[in-house]
Amino acid sequence: MNWTSASDFFAMGGYALYVWGSFGMCFFAVALELLILRRHRRRTMRQLALRVAMDDAGDQAWSTPLPADPAQPSRETADASQA
């Protein structure tokens, strides 16, 4: 298409509403997709950081011995009573 002026270009031969509307909808869809992806990435990164923190805390919990529970018999007394 040949346009003689900028107004002819923006009029798009009488189809400006459809042409520019489709450009606007495409821009809106791409912008919305980027926002959704950004939010999803942030949420995923927070969940991963939480999992790593929980895993690190779990490793520390397993490396420290648990205090003896007075209600539970120790292995030595349980083994001695069975023998």
Q: What is the helix, strand, coil percentage profile of the chain, to 5?
A: 80, 0, 20
Give the pLDDT confidence of 18-32 residue by residue, as tens digits: 999 999 999 999 999
* Amino acid letter, 62: W
Let me know: does 13 contact 1? Beta carbons within 8 Å. Answer: yes
4: three-class secondary structure by DSSP: coil
- Indicate the pTM of the whole model: 0.56
Q: Is the pLDDT of residue 71 over 80?
A: no
Give the pLDDT confidence of 31-43 residue by residue, as tens digits: 999 999 999 999 9
Residue 15 CA, chain-centre distance (Å), reads 41
When pLDDT is averaged across residues 74-80 and rounded to a whole number, the result is 59
